[in-house]
Amino acid sequence: MATARSTIYEVASRSGVSTATVSRAMQGEDGMSAKTRDRVLAAANELAWVPDGRARGLATRRAGIVGILFHDLDASGEAEEESPLYLDEVIRGAERAATAGGDALLIAATRGRSGRELAFSVSGKVDGLVVLARSVSKPDIAALSRTLPIVTVAIRSRSNPFDDISVDIRGAMRGLVEHLIVVHGYRDLIFIGGPARSPDSMERFAGYRDALRTHQLPVPSSPYADGGFTEAGGARAVRALLTERIPEVIVCGNDEMAIGALGVLRTAKLAVPGDVAVTGFDDIASARHVRPTLTTVHQPMRDVGEQAVRMLLDRIVHPDAKRRAALLPTEPRIRRSCGCAVRTTPHRSSSTSTRATPAGRRLS
Protein backbone atom coordinates (compact mmCIF):
# COMPACT_ATOMS: atom_id res chain seq x y z
CA MET A 1 0.00 0.00 0.00
CA ALA A 2 2.79 2.37 0.81
CA THR A 3 3.26 4.15 -2.44
CA ALA A 4 6.76 5.25 -3.26
CA ARG A 5 7.14 6.15 -6.87
CA SER A 6 10.56 5.44 -8.18
CA THR A 7 12.34 7.87 -10.42
CA ILE A 8 14.31 7.84 -13.59
CA TYR A 9 17.50 7.95 -11.56
CA GLU A 10 16.84 4.63 -9.93
CA VAL A 11 16.01 3.10 -13.24
CA ALA A 12 19.17 4.56 -14.72
CA SER A 13 21.47 3.28 -12.06
CA ARG A 14 19.78 -0.08 -11.89
CA SER A 15 20.33 -0.60 -15.58
CA GLY A 16 23.74 1.01 -15.57
CA VAL A 17 23.04 3.83 -18.00
CA SER A 18 22.40 7.55 -17.83
CA THR A 19 19.03 9.13 -17.41
CA ALA A 20 19.22 10.37 -20.97
CA THR A 21 19.36 6.83 -22.18
CA VAL A 22 16.45 5.80 -20.03
CA SER A 23 14.45 8.65 -21.42
CA ARG A 24 15.35 7.68 -24.95
CA ALA A 25 14.44 4.09 -24.34
CA MET A 26 11.05 5.04 -22.99
CA GLN A 27 10.28 7.08 -26.03
CA GLY A 28 11.26 4.33 -28.39
CA GLU A 29 13.88 6.43 -30.08
CA ASP A 30 16.05 4.76 -32.62
CA GLY A 31 19.80 4.98 -32.64
CA MET A 32 20.00 2.75 -29.63
CA SER A 33 21.35 -0.72 -29.28
CA ALA A 34 18.58 -3.17 -28.71
CA LYS A 35 20.49 -4.62 -25.82
CA THR A 36 20.62 -1.37 -23.91
CA ARG A 37 17.00 -0.71 -24.53
CA ASP A 38 15.95 -4.05 -23.22
CA ARG A 39 18.02 -3.61 -20.11
CA VAL A 40 16.37 -0.29 -19.44
CA LEU A 41 12.89 -1.53 -20.11
CA ALA A 42 13.45 -4.49 -17.86
CA ALA A 43 14.64 -2.28 -15.05
CA ALA A 44 11.67 0.02 -15.48
CA ASN A 45 9.39 -2.92 -15.33
CA GLU A 46 10.91 -4.34 -12.19
CA LEU A 47 10.60 -1.03 -10.45
CA ALA A 48 7.08 -0.51 -11.77
CA TRP A 49 8.31 2.81 -12.96
CA VAL A 50 6.24 5.10 -15.12
CA PRO A 51 7.66 8.44 -16.18
CA ASP A 52 6.14 11.19 -14.12
CA GLY A 53 3.77 13.10 -16.33
CA ARG A 54 4.31 16.35 -14.48
CA ALA A 55 8.06 16.31 -14.87
CA ARG A 56 7.77 15.21 -18.42
CA GLY A 57 5.24 17.91 -19.05
CA LEU A 58 7.47 20.51 -17.53
CA ALA A 59 10.36 19.49 -19.69
CA THR A 60 8.44 19.19 -22.91
CA ARG A 61 5.98 22.01 -22.33
CA ARG A 62 3.23 19.61 -23.13
CA ALA A 63 1.03 17.93 -20.56
CA GLY A 64 -0.59 15.43 -22.87
CA ILE A 65 -3.93 16.47 -21.45
CA VAL A 66 -6.74 18.41 -23.02
CA GLY A 67 -9.73 19.63 -21.10
CA ILE A 68 -13.41 20.06 -21.72
CA LEU A 69 -15.52 22.55 -19.84
CA PHE A 70 -19.26 22.21 -19.67
CA HIS A 71 -22.08 23.42 -17.52
CA ASP A 72 -23.72 20.96 -15.18
CA LEU A 73 -27.13 22.42 -14.58
CA ASP A 74 -28.40 19.52 -12.68
CA ALA A 75 -25.93 19.91 -9.92
CA SER A 76 -26.27 23.58 -9.35
CA GLY A 77 -29.83 23.27 -8.15
CA GLU A 78 -30.24 26.18 -10.46
CA ALA A 79 -33.46 25.23 -12.13
CA GLU A 80 -35.88 22.46 -12.77
CA GLU A 81 -34.11 22.13 -16.05
CA GLU A 82 -33.29 18.67 -17.18
CA SER A 83 -29.67 17.75 -17.08
CA PRO A 84 -28.75 17.70 -20.73
CA LEU A 85 -28.14 14.14 -21.65
CA TYR A 86 -26.37 14.96 -24.84
CA LEU A 87 -23.48 16.15 -22.77
CA ASP A 88 -22.51 12.61 -22.04
CA GLU A 89 -22.30 11.87 -25.72
CA VAL A 90 -20.12 14.88 -26.29
CA ILE A 91 -17.83 13.84 -23.50
CA ARG A 92 -17.54 10.32 -24.78
CA GLY A 93 -16.71 11.57 -28.22
CA ALA A 94 -14.13 13.92 -26.81
CA GLU A 95 -12.58 11.15 -24.79
CA ARG A 96 -12.34 9.00 -27.83
CA ALA A 97 -10.60 11.63 -29.89
CA ALA A 98 -8.24 12.53 -27.11
CA THR A 99 -7.23 8.95 -26.47
CA ALA A 100 -6.82 8.37 -30.16
CA GLY A 101 -4.49 11.33 -30.29
CA GLY A 102 -2.44 10.02 -27.39
CA ASP A 103 -3.75 12.58 -24.97
CA ALA A 104 -5.97 12.26 -21.95
CA LEU A 105 -9.19 14.13 -21.34
CA LEU A 106 -9.83 16.26 -18.31
CA ILE A 107 -13.45 17.09 -17.66
CA ALA A 108 -14.78 19.83 -15.48
CA ALA A 109 -18.27 21.13 -14.96
CA THR A 110 -18.90 24.70 -14.07
CA ARG A 111 -21.85 25.12 -11.79
CA GLY A 112 -23.55 28.36 -11.03
CA ARG A 113 -21.19 31.21 -10.48
CA SER A 114 -18.03 29.28 -9.78
CA GLY A 115 -17.18 28.82 -13.43
CA ARG A 116 -14.48 31.37 -13.58
CA GLU A 117 -12.35 29.99 -10.83
CA LEU A 118 -12.72 26.46 -12.06
CA ALA A 119 -11.78 27.39 -15.58
CA PHE A 120 -8.57 29.01 -14.50
CA SER A 121 -7.60 26.23 -12.20
CA VAL A 122 -8.12 23.76 -15.00
CA SER A 123 -6.26 25.90 -17.45
CA GLY A 124 -3.01 25.29 -15.63
CA LYS A 125 -3.32 21.57 -16.09
CA VAL A 126 -4.02 21.16 -19.76
CA ASP A 127 -2.63 21.95 -23.16
CA GLY A 128 -5.87 23.23 -24.54
CA LEU A 129 -9.53 23.56 -23.78
CA VAL A 130 -12.81 22.72 -25.42
CA VAL A 131 -15.40 25.09 -24.06
CA LEU A 132 -19.08 24.32 -24.40
CA ALA A 133 -21.57 27.09 -24.82
CA ARG A 134 -22.85 28.53 -21.59
CA SER A 135 -20.15 27.04 -19.41
CA VAL A 136 -17.85 30.04 -19.27
CA SER A 137 -18.54 33.70 -19.93
CA LYS A 138 -17.23 35.29 -23.09
CA PRO A 139 -14.75 37.55 -21.30
CA ASP A 140 -13.43 34.62 -19.35
CA ILE A 141 -12.99 32.63 -22.51
CA ALA A 142 -11.05 35.51 -23.93
CA ALA A 143 -8.84 35.60 -20.86
CA LEU A 144 -8.24 31.88 -21.04
CA SER A 145 -7.30 32.15 -24.66
CA ARG A 146 -4.36 34.29 -23.71
CA THR A 147 -2.71 31.26 -22.22
CA LEU A 148 -4.22 28.36 -24.10
CA PRO A 149 -5.62 27.23 -27.40
CA ILE A 150 -9.41 27.20 -27.22
CA VAL A 151 -12.07 25.49 -29.27
CA THR A 152 -15.67 26.39 -28.63
CA VAL A 153 -18.72 24.25 -29.12
CA ALA A 154 -21.95 25.80 -30.26
CA ILE A 155 -20.86 29.40 -30.08
CA ARG A 156 -21.71 30.54 -33.53
CA SER A 157 -21.92 34.25 -33.18
CA ARG A 158 -19.97 35.96 -35.91
CA SER A 159 -17.81 37.58 -33.31
CA ASN A 160 -16.52 34.32 -31.93
CA PRO A 161 -12.83 34.39 -32.77
CA PHE A 162 -12.18 30.78 -31.85
CA ASP A 163 -12.36 27.53 -33.69
CA ASP A 164 -15.86 26.22 -33.31
CA ILE A 165 -17.89 23.09 -33.79
CA SER A 166 -21.63 23.42 -33.97
CA VAL A 167 -24.61 21.46 -35.14
CA ASP A 168 -26.85 22.82 -37.84
CA ILE A 169 -29.89 23.06 -35.61
CA ARG A 170 -31.69 25.57 -37.69
CA GLY A 171 -31.30 23.64 -40.90
CA ALA A 172 -32.39 20.50 -39.14
CA MET A 173 -35.61 21.96 -37.84
CA ARG A 174 -36.28 23.46 -41.21
CA GLY A 175 -35.83 20.08 -42.83
CA LEU A 176 -38.12 18.39 -40.36
CA VAL A 177 -40.88 20.93 -40.82
CA GLU A 178 -40.55 20.74 -44.58
CA HIS A 179 -41.11 17.04 -44.26
CA LEU A 180 -44.37 17.78 -42.46
CA ILE A 181 -45.46 20.26 -45.08
CA VAL A 182 -44.28 18.54 -48.22
CA VAL A 183 -44.74 14.88 -47.44
CA HIS A 184 -47.81 15.09 -45.25
CA GLY A 185 -49.38 18.21 -46.61
CA TYR A 186 -49.95 19.76 -43.21
CA ARG A 187 -50.70 23.49 -43.25
CA ASP A 188 -51.81 24.16 -39.72
CA LEU A 189 -48.82 23.85 -37.43
CA ILE A 190 -48.08 24.99 -33.92
CA PHE A 191 -44.64 25.45 -32.40
CA ILE A 192 -43.89 24.88 -28.75
CA GLY A 193 -40.56 26.44 -27.89
CA GLY A 194 -37.97 26.19 -25.16
CA PRO A 195 -36.80 28.98 -22.87
CA ALA A 196 -37.34 32.17 -24.82
CA ARG A 197 -33.89 33.58 -24.34
CA SER A 198 -31.93 30.42 -25.01
CA PRO A 199 -29.99 30.79 -28.26
CA ASP A 200 -30.48 27.12 -28.95
CA SER A 201 -34.19 27.49 -28.53
CA MET A 202 -34.22 30.46 -30.86
CA GLU A 203 -32.36 28.54 -33.54
CA ARG A 204 -34.95 25.85 -33.51
CA PHE A 205 -37.73 28.34 -33.89
CA ALA A 206 -35.85 30.10 -36.66
CA GLY A 207 -35.66 26.86 -38.60
CA TYR A 208 -39.36 26.37 -38.13
CA ARG A 209 -40.01 29.82 -39.53
CA ASP A 210 -37.69 29.20 -42.44
CA ALA A 211 -39.77 26.26 -43.52
CA LEU A 212 -43.07 28.06 -43.20
CA ARG A 213 -41.77 31.01 -45.13
CA THR A 214 -40.45 28.87 -47.93
CA HIS A 215 -43.85 27.32 -48.36
CA GLN A 216 -45.80 30.54 -48.10
CA LEU A 217 -47.47 29.69 -44.87
CA PRO A 218 -48.14 32.35 -42.24
CA VAL A 219 -45.00 32.90 -40.18
CA PRO A 220 -45.56 33.53 -36.47
CA SER A 221 -43.28 35.94 -34.73
CA SER A 222 -42.95 33.83 -31.65
CA PRO A 223 -43.61 30.26 -30.52
CA TYR A 224 -47.10 29.43 -29.38
CA ALA A 225 -45.75 28.82 -25.90
CA ASP A 226 -42.60 28.39 -23.90
CA GLY A 227 -42.46 24.84 -22.65
CA GLY A 228 -39.12 25.31 -20.98
CA PHE A 229 -37.71 22.22 -22.71
CA THR A 230 -39.29 20.03 -20.05
CA GLU A 231 -41.85 17.27 -20.20
CA ALA A 232 -44.08 19.06 -17.74
CA GLY A 233 -43.73 22.32 -19.62
CA GLY A 234 -44.67 20.66 -22.87
CA ALA A 235 -47.72 19.08 -21.28
CA ARG A 236 -48.79 22.37 -19.83
CA ALA A 237 -48.50 24.14 -23.15
CA VAL A 238 -50.52 21.51 -24.97
CA ARG A 239 -53.16 21.52 -22.31
CA ALA A 240 -53.58 25.23 -22.83
CA LEU A 241 -53.58 24.78 -26.57
CA LEU A 242 -56.39 22.24 -26.48
CA THR A 243 -58.71 24.64 -24.79
CA GLU A 244 -58.45 26.77 -27.91
CA ARG A 245 -58.22 24.46 -30.86
CA ILE A 246 -56.64 21.39 -32.37
CA PRO A 247 -53.93 21.99 -34.95
CA GLU A 248 -52.77 19.44 -37.47
CA VAL A 249 -49.29 19.22 -36.03
CA ILE A 250 -47.59 20.18 -32.81
CA VAL A 251 -43.92 20.82 -33.48
CA CYS A 252 -41.97 20.68 -30.26
CA GLY A 253 -38.60 22.26 -29.63
CA ASN A 254 -37.33 19.08 -28.07
CA ASP A 255 -38.25 15.49 -27.29
CA GLU A 256 -39.08 16.02 -23.65
CA MET A 257 -41.78 18.50 -24.49
CA ALA A 258 -43.05 16.25 -27.26
CA ILE A 259 -43.35 13.41 -24.81
CA GLY A 260 -45.26 15.66 -22.49
CA ALA A 261 -47.53 16.53 -25.39
CA LEU A 262 -48.17 12.89 -26.18
CA GLY A 263 -49.25 12.29 -22.63
CA VAL A 264 -51.78 15.10 -22.69
CA LEU A 265 -53.13 14.08 -26.07
CA ARG A 266 -53.62 10.54 -24.87
CA THR A 267 -55.55 11.79 -21.89
CA ALA A 268 -57.65 13.93 -24.19
CA LYS A 269 -58.43 10.88 -26.29
CA LEU A 270 -56.86 12.42 -29.33
CA ALA A 271 -55.09 9.99 -31.64
CA VAL A 272 -51.53 10.65 -32.68
CA PRO A 273 -50.92 11.01 -35.54
CA GLY A 274 -54.54 10.47 -36.57
CA ASP A 275 -55.98 13.59 -34.97
CA VAL A 276 -52.77 15.50 -34.35
CA ALA A 277 -49.22 14.84 -35.41
CA VAL A 278 -46.34 15.55 -33.04
CA THR A 279 -42.62 15.93 -33.56
CA GLY A 280 -39.68 16.31 -31.23
CA PHE A 281 -36.03 17.19 -31.51
CA ASP A 282 -32.81 15.61 -30.18
CA ASP A 283 -33.69 11.94 -30.41
CA ILE A 284 -33.31 11.03 -26.78
CA ALA A 285 -33.48 7.35 -25.96
CA SER A 286 -37.10 7.49 -24.95
CA ALA A 287 -38.16 8.78 -28.35
CA ARG A 288 -38.03 5.23 -29.64
CA HIS A 289 -40.07 3.86 -26.80
CA VAL A 290 -42.99 6.20 -26.45
CA ARG A 291 -46.15 5.30 -28.38
CA PRO A 292 -46.41 6.29 -31.07
CA THR A 293 -42.69 6.36 -31.66
CA LEU A 294 -41.53 9.91 -31.96
CA THR A 295 -40.41 11.55 -35.16
CA THR A 296 -37.46 13.72 -34.29
CA VAL A 297 -33.98 14.79 -35.30
CA HIS A 298 -30.81 13.15 -34.22
CA GLN A 299 -27.87 15.34 -33.32
CA PRO A 300 -24.42 13.88 -33.81
CA MET A 301 -23.23 14.76 -30.34
CA ARG A 302 -20.53 12.21 -30.25
CA ASP A 303 -19.13 13.62 -33.44
CA VAL A 304 -19.26 17.06 -31.92
CA GLY A 305 -17.04 15.91 -29.09
CA GLU A 306 -14.69 14.07 -31.36
CA GLN A 307 -14.27 16.84 -33.83
CA ALA A 308 -13.87 19.51 -31.21
CA VAL A 309 -10.99 17.65 -29.64
CA ARG A 310 -9.46 16.84 -32.96
CA MET A 311 -9.62 20.47 -33.90
CA LEU A 312 -8.05 21.41 -30.61
CA LEU A 313 -5.23 18.96 -31.02
CA ASP A 314 -4.63 20.47 -34.40
CA ARG A 315 -4.66 23.96 -33.05
CA ILE A 316 -2.13 23.02 -30.40
CA VAL A 317 0.24 21.91 -33.09
CA HIS A 318 -0.50 24.80 -35.43
CA PRO A 319 -1.21 27.78 -33.21
CA ASP A 320 -1.22 30.18 -36.12
CA ALA A 321 -3.38 28.37 -38.60
CA LYS A 322 -6.39 30.30 -39.65
CA ARG A 323 -9.65 29.98 -37.80
CA ARG A 324 -11.89 27.07 -38.62
CA ALA A 325 -15.53 26.44 -37.88
CA ALA A 326 -17.58 23.39 -38.69
CA LEU A 327 -21.32 22.98 -38.88
CA LEU A 328 -22.27 19.36 -38.41
CA PRO A 329 -25.27 17.92 -40.21
CA THR A 330 -28.07 16.14 -38.40
CA GLU A 331 -30.10 13.09 -39.24
CA PRO A 332 -33.87 13.08 -39.29
CA ARG A 333 -35.45 10.15 -37.49
CA ILE A 334 -38.78 9.70 -39.14
CA ARG A 335 -40.99 7.52 -37.00
CA ARG A 336 -44.73 7.28 -36.43
CA SER A 337 -45.80 10.39 -34.61
CA CYS A 338 -45.63 12.55 -37.73
CA GLY A 339 -47.98 10.32 -39.65
CA CYS A 340 -45.48 8.23 -41.49
CA ALA A 341 -46.37 4.57 -41.53
CA VAL A 342 -42.98 3.21 -40.78
CA ARG A 343 -42.57 -0.41 -41.53
CA THR A 344 -39.91 -2.06 -39.48
CA THR A 345 -37.04 -0.14 -40.91
CA PRO A 346 -34.06 -2.30 -41.71
CA HIS A 347 -30.80 -1.47 -40.03
CA ARG A 348 -29.12 1.22 -41.94
CA SER A 349 -26.16 -0.09 -43.79
CA SER A 350 -23.10 0.95 -41.91
CA SER A 351 -21.49 2.42 -44.97
CA THR A 352 -21.85 6.04 -44.03
CA SER A 353 -19.08 7.77 -42.24
CA THR A 354 -21.43 9.27 -39.73
CA ARG A 355 -21.50 6.80 -36.95
CA ALA A 356 -24.81 5.94 -35.46
CA THR A 357 -25.07 6.43 -31.75
CA PRO A 358 -26.52 3.71 -29.57
CA ALA A 359 -29.82 5.49 -29.25
CA GLY A 360 -30.32 5.50 -32.95
CA ARG A 361 -28.89 2.20 -33.84
CA ARG A 362 -32.02 0.22 -33.59
CA LEU A 363 -35.27 1.53 -34.84
CA SER A 364 -38.42 0.51 -33.11
Partner DNA sequence: GTTACGTACGTAAGCGCTTACGTCAGGAAT
Partner DNA sequence: ATTCCTGACGTAAGCGCTTACGTACGTAAC
Q: Is 245 in the site for DNA (CB under 7 A)?
A: no
Determine the angle formed by the axes of helices 199-214 and 169-178, rounding to 10 degrees: 40
Binding mask 122-151 for DNA (x = CB under 7 A): ------------------------------
Question: Please, what is the minimum distance in Å from the beta carbon of residue 136 to DNA?
Answer: 21
Q: Is 8 in the site for DNA (CB under 7 A)?
A: yes
What are the CA-CA distances from residue 233 to residues 42, 80, 240, 270, 334 (Å)?
63, 10, 11, 19, 24
Q: Is 91 in the site for DNA (CB under 7 A)?
A: no
Where in 221-250 is the site for its own copies (CB under 8 A)? 231-232
Q: Is 351 in the site for its own copies (CB under 8 A)?
A: no
Residue 358's binding partner among DNA, its own copies, none (Cβ under 5 to 8 angstroms by kind) is: its own copies
Return phi, psi of residue 363, to 5°.
Answer: -95, 155
Of 20 and 285, nearer to its own copies (C-beta) is 285
Burial of 15 (C-beta count, 10 Å sphere; 0-12/13-18/19+): buried
> Residue 206: how many CB atoms within 10 A of its CB?
14
Amino acid at residue number 277: A
3-class secondary structure per residue, 138-150? HHHHHHHCCCCCE
Q: Is 200 in the site for its own copies (CB under 8 A)?
A: no
Q: What angle do CA 359, 170, 216 make, to 5 degrees?
A: 120
Using the contact rule CB under 8 A, the part of the chain among 94-102, 195-203, 211-219, 220-228 near its own copies is 94-102
Question: Please, what is the minimum distance in Å from the beta carbon of residue 302 to its own copies?
Answer: 9
- Residues in contact with DNA by the rule CB under 7 A: 5, 7-9, 16-24, 26-27, 31-33, 35-36, 49, 51-52, 55-56, 58-61
